[in-house]
Amino acid sequence: MICTVILGGKRYFLDGTEPFIALNDYAQRIQGKQVLIEDGKNYIIDRIPDFPAERNKMKKTTRISLEEDVIKGSSTMEYNGESKTMLQAVYSSIRSEDKTKALSGLLKQGDDNVIVNEVQAPDFKERQKPITVNFDFKANNQVKKVGNEIYVVMDWDKEFAGLEFDKERKNDYEFNYKYNYTIQTELVIPEGYKVDYVPASFKKNSPGYSFEGAYTQKGKSIIYNKTIVVNKPVLLTTDFEGWNAFVKAINHFYSDQVVLVKL
């Protein structure tokens, strides 16, 4: 059961099971649902807003450089909507003495090749504004030197790379929320090298989800942009074949690398 507050002629739906939700934000599980509001001897029928994936945007901005065979860099992560409330819920559930370590683990997304440090933790009690986390990191095993060439992996997060469904699965798959993730990574080209190859741009759209990735050279940097959107929170079993084809296509894009060559 939820509560409706009518304030200034506007209706706000309050869900006591969501301790971190912002005012006028609603969990995916109740979005679009019809509500019956008591109004004295009468009643009001309304509907909870159904927000687009943009409402839950996660945005990652990164600048990296090469030091021998190690990538070093700094990132800013911005969380909105349900990506923010999920982060707040996870962080609040962790013991105080373990919070810093746990936050570092969340930021590196379980990748043991990434070492996160210098984390600037935000105010996790903030409700109405996006949460922003700044941190430095090192990434191992993403650079390979062969003769005069350097092969560089600029995207090691590879969202959804392993999310394929077996033909025998009989149940639909439900995402935590509508997903919108954008990333921009700038690689500073090391002195004495030039760009020999960048992967071709890739774009794949369907009614329920989309992917777009592109590498461009700008001066002495390579800029990598990626956007992934999942518009529908439930993936039906009838959609599994199309989704698996989508994942295979983005994995092919993920497998490509930037190549630098010595001048």
Convert the pLDDT of each residue in 76-85 to its tens digit.
999 999 999 9
39 and 86 part of one domain: no
148 and 93 part of one domain: yes
Is 28 in contact with 178 (CB distance < 8 Å)?
Answer: yes
Distance, in Å, from the CA atom of 149 to the CA atom of 114, rounded to the nearest integer, reads 23
Q: What is the CATH number of the domain that holds 107?
A: 2.60.120.1130
pLDDT band at residue 1 under the 50/70/90 scheme: confident
31 and 115 part of one domain: no
82 and 204 part of one domain: yes
110 and 69 part of one domain: yes
Tokens of 66: 């090469």
Residue of 170, 171, 157, 249 whose CA lies nearest to 209: 249
Question: What's the pLDDT score for residue 171?
Answer: 97
Average pLDDT (216-241) is: 96
Tokens of 12: 């706000």
Distance, in Å, from the CA atom of 155 to the CA atom of 185, rounded to the nearest integer, reads 8
186 and 96 part of one domain: yes
41 and 57 part of one domain: no
Domain boundary among 14, 32, 47: 47
146-179 pLDDT, tens digit per residue, is: 999 999 999 999 999 999 999 899 999 999 999 9
33 and 126 part of one domain: no
Distance, in Å, from the CA atom of 103 to the CA atom of 90, rounded to the nearest integer, reads 9
Phi, psi of 249 (to 5 degrees): -65, -45
Distance, in Å, from the CA atom of 20 to the CA atom of 5, rounded to the nearest integer, reads 18
Question: What's the pLDDT score for residue 154?
Answer: 96
28 and 117 part of one domain: no
Q: Would the pLDDT of 134 be above 90?
A: yes
Domain of 12?
3-47
28 and 120 part of one domain: no
Distance, in Å, from the CA atom of 136 to the CA atom of 141, rounded to the nearest integer, reads 17
169 and 186 part of one domain: yes
Helix then strand count (H, E) for the chain reads: 3, 18
27-58 pLDDT, tens digit per residue, is: 999 999 999 999 889 999 999 999 999 999 99
22 and 122 part of one domain: no
Residue of 173, 175, 235, 168 whose CA lies nearest to 206: 235
Q: How many structural domains compose the chain?
A: 2
Question: What's the pLDDT score for residue 124?
Answer: 82
